[in-house]
Structure 1
């Protein structure tokens, strides 16, 4: 598969929106290693996940554009001539989407429509992969959750991400803008946001345990699955290069699910020390909590041959090792 990817991306022009973010930065570096000519578009909004350190290994080999996906004229220019578009720009905080729903709407829905319109008008041949989220499912009716599960978002973020997802599928079906949707679960790894919980609670845990401070576990019995960032990147690459993925929606999932309490205990063990406090779930967040969730990733395994290969233990160990060196840059 590696040789296939090299031939698919070598010399190709690739645009990565949100390319200084956690997953976008890792993806951009991988694309550079495959010989692609990469343009990264990122607004570096402080409340979001963009960080120049996420691209440090490939910064000199990537064209970085400080651009906001809400800027229609700029995005139209950036889309021109690209062979691939990995569309990862987004507002990820569930709580922020509830306190500032208009911004979430602009970034996660309206801007996605604008990007696709730019593709339709200026580059209808571009191949698109869109980063969606498991949040669109809401509270599961059954586990594991497959792609046939009802879609019932419990917050504004989920509603807007679902709209963005549907725009991509519509433009694939009606306008021939070949698109694939990946519904990501809890992605962890080097480069994840750790200064707060806007991206994932695991980042806050890692920061606190490395700083020698106790972290909070809300509830603890909830089941979750976790995908290592390099495994997620592999899914994006496969989705972009396989014809059967055009117009398709796939769940990403991690290794076997574990409780948040078990995850906290594992983190302390791997760090060689640390502590946490178990607390009741805050009332404000309980209203948009989805309870137990883990995904059925069987469809992407059957059709694209992808599966998560990195254990949670290995993923956490690699993340801790990264932030022992990089913590000061991210907080």
Structure 2
């Protein structure tokens, strides 16, 4: 990774007070970048000012919505990099309020790209996409050649947003790369509910001494990335022009059943239990079954591999929320 690319550079992060955005900002500050964070701070979307408590005097924060084209066009001027992380992440919410999901995950993405085309065509964009666009896997692990068949509104809109980024790269030369993230976890993730990741609410239940709810029989397979590994991938693709116009999966060599994951959490020494319960209907109809990614492409082309093991990452995450939970729920 060419860290010198970020020293003295001007960086805009949408969703900057959220989970991944705040962790990314922290590293960019260390690298000497001038960082501007954009976040709507709409309660259900996960932005939290406490996520930047240790760097709040080293970044610029602008509270606005990515659906405001005039504000975004202004903020994009003069930026070298855009880490485009703002989005509606809840699959269930996307089904109950599809219009809002469309506005945030598709229409606003097109608006952002148009602002780049008109005001800053030399910017480099890293777009946070999702494994959800693949839908139910035909084979495992899922690579980038797998068909995309989203099972919910969120997946459809994220796929459209991703497609716009690649189109603007190919047609207008606005350098963009899409990262299809798998389950990302760590300090700063939303733990009030399961809107961002089910693992967040599991950790909250563990700390509160309440049973962890495992849907179905818990045999579903998943892979996980600790947030530091996700941030490293974003910085790698941001600094690489060889990544322009490409899509990369992130993933892990550790694949775990959800019931085993619950067992690991309970074994960390904080007490707690887990129990099985039937899938809620609104989740069952959009469940994708087993899923884990092949991240061989980004490993071969850019040298990215996850370095934080699942047990180590879970210990760090639970320790963080045990110390700081009053700011998160």
Compute the TM-score of the two structures, normalised by the length of structure 1: 0.98
Give the Cα–Cα distance (whole angstroms) in 2 for the partners of residues 174 and 274 of structure 1: 53
Question: Any conservation in 1 of the 2:140–2:292 contact (CA below 8 Å)?
Answer: yes
Could you tell me how far 1:282 is from its partner in structure 2? Answer: 1.9
The aligned residue for residue 48 of structure 1 is 45
The aligned residue for residue 232 of structure 2 is 234
Question: Any conservation in 1 of the 2:109–2:161 contact (CA below 8 Å)?
Answer: yes
The aligned residue for residue 160 of structure 1 is 157
Give the Cα–Cα distance (whole angstroms) in 1 for the partners of residues 290 and 312 of structure 2: 23
Question: Any conservation in 2 of the 1:255–1:309 contact (CA below 8 Å)?
Answer: no
Residue 8 of structure 2 aligns to a residue whose secondary structure is coil
Question: Any conservation in 2 of the 1:104–1:160 contact (CA below 8 Å)?
Answer: yes
Q: Does 1:17 align with 2:18?
A: no
Cα deviation, 1:273-303, whole Å, max 9, x if unaligned, reads 1111111222221110000000000000000
Q: Does 1:62 align with 2:59?
A: yes
Question: Any conservation in 2 of the 1:48–1:91 contact (CA below 8 Å)?
Answer: yes
Give the Cα–Cα distance (whole angstroms) in 2 for the partners of residues 65 and 238 of structure 1: 26
The aligned residue for residue 189 of structure 1 is 186
Which one of 77, 80, 83 corresponds to residue 80 of structure 2? 83
Cα deviation, 1:169-201, whole Å, max 9, x if unaligned, reads 000000000000000000010111000000011
Give the Cα–Cα distance (whole angstroms) in 1 for the partners of residues 89 and 272 of structure 2: 28
Question: Any conservation in 2 of the 1:250–1:300 contact (CA below 8 Å)?
Answer: yes
Residue 187 of structure 1 aligns to a residue whose secondary structure is strand
Q: Does 1:296 align with 2:294?
A: yes
Cα deviation, 1:188-217, whole Å, max 9, x if unaligned, reads 101110000000110001001101111200
The aligned residue for residue 323 of structure 2 is 325
Q: Does 1:109 align with 2:109?
A: no
Residue 126 of structure 2 aligns to a residue whose secondary structure is strand
Could you tell me how far 1:255 is from its partner in structure 2? Answer: 3.3
Question: Any conservation in 2 of the 1:108–1:164 contact (CA below 8 Å)?
Answer: yes
Give the Cα–Cα distance (whole angstroms) in 2 for the partners of residues 165 and 134 of structure 1: 12
Residue 314 of structure 1 aligns to a residue whose secondary structure is helix
Cα deviation, 1:78-106, whole Å, max 9, x if unaligned, reads 01100000000000000000000000000
Give the Cα–Cα distance (whole angstroms) in 2 for the partners of residues 309 and 255 of structure 1: 10
The aligned residue for residue 138 of structure 2 is 141
Cα deviation, 1:97-120, whole Å, max 9, x if unaligned, reads 000000000000000000000000
Could you tell me how far 1:244 is from its partner in structure 2? Answer: 1.0
Could you tell me how far 1:221 is from its partner in structure 2? Answer: 0.2
The aligned residue for residue 246 of structure 1 is 244
Give the Cα–Cα distance (whole angstroms) in 1 for the partners of residues 187 and 13 of structure 2: 18
Question: Any conservation in 2 of the 1:255–1:310 contact (CA below 8 Å)?
Answer: no
Could you tell me how far 1:270 is from its partner in structure 2? Answer: 1.0
Give the Cα–Cα distance (whole angstroms) in 2 for the partners of residues 111 and 272 of structure 1: 42
Residue 268 of structure 2 aligns to a residue whose secondary structure is helix
Residue 13 of structure 2 aligns to a residue whose secondary structure is strand
The aligned residue for residue 175 of structure 2 is 178
Question: Any conservation in 1 of the 2:207–2:270 contact (CA below 8 Å)?
Answer: no
Question: Any conservation in 2 of the 1:209–1:271 contact (CA below 8 Å)?
Answer: no
Question: Any conservation in 2 of the 1:228–1:254 contact (CA below 8 Å)?
Answer: no
Aligned ranges 1:252-267 → 2 under 5 Å:
252-267=250-265
Could you tell me how far 1:153 is from its partner in structure 2? Answer: 0.2
Unaligned runs of 5+ in 1: none
Give the Cα–Cα distance (whole angstroms) in 1 for the partners of residues 15 and 112 of structure 2: 13
Question: Any conservation in 2 of the 1:15–1:84 contact (CA below 8 Å)?
Answer: yes
